[in-house]
Amino acid sequence: MTSGCRLSSSPWAALILALCAGCDGAPRGREATSNGSGSVVAEQAPITFDRQPPGSANRVPTLQGTAGTLRYRPGCLFLDDGRGGEIGLVLPAEATFDGRRLVGALTTPEGEAVAREVGQVVSLTGPVIDNPSDGRYSCDTKKLLVADRF
């Protein structure tokens, strides 16, 4: 290969490298899933869940906790009681969830944020109410737990 050929192919190589720089997995906002016959790319739904209006947490604190395994389906964080029952969660406005970890405003004595992961047994306090099923909440559970400060 002559040096003239190398110079003329360098811009092409740079262009190819620039175009492939972001080719490190599924496109942003998409997630690779398997359907048994190979990999397919599916749109990742935005992570949403029911929240209380800002400033409304702990208006009427409840001293008794409700325990269950933390689960998520699109639009609904909920507690699975292990016997087929589900209680939807209405969390304080400042709680965050990334699809795997729920983080609240409370901190440990060491100053670290309190975090719980999907699949982990958790206990939350707050009144358990019948789901009004009038569109206010996205969880389709029969009961909702309006969580105190988490």
How is the chain split into domains, by residue range? 3-43, 65-146
Q: Which residue has the higher pLDDT, 37 or 64?
A: 64
Count of positions (residues) in the chain: 150
Q: Does 43 have pLDDT greater than 50?
A: no
> pLDDT of 97-111, one tens digit each?
999 999 988 888 999
Q: Give the Cα separation of 149 and 55 in Å (integer).
A: 10
Task: Report the candidate in 19, 41, 21, 20 with the shortest Cα–Cα distance to residue 32.
Answer: 41
Q: Give the pLDDT of residue 61.
A: 65
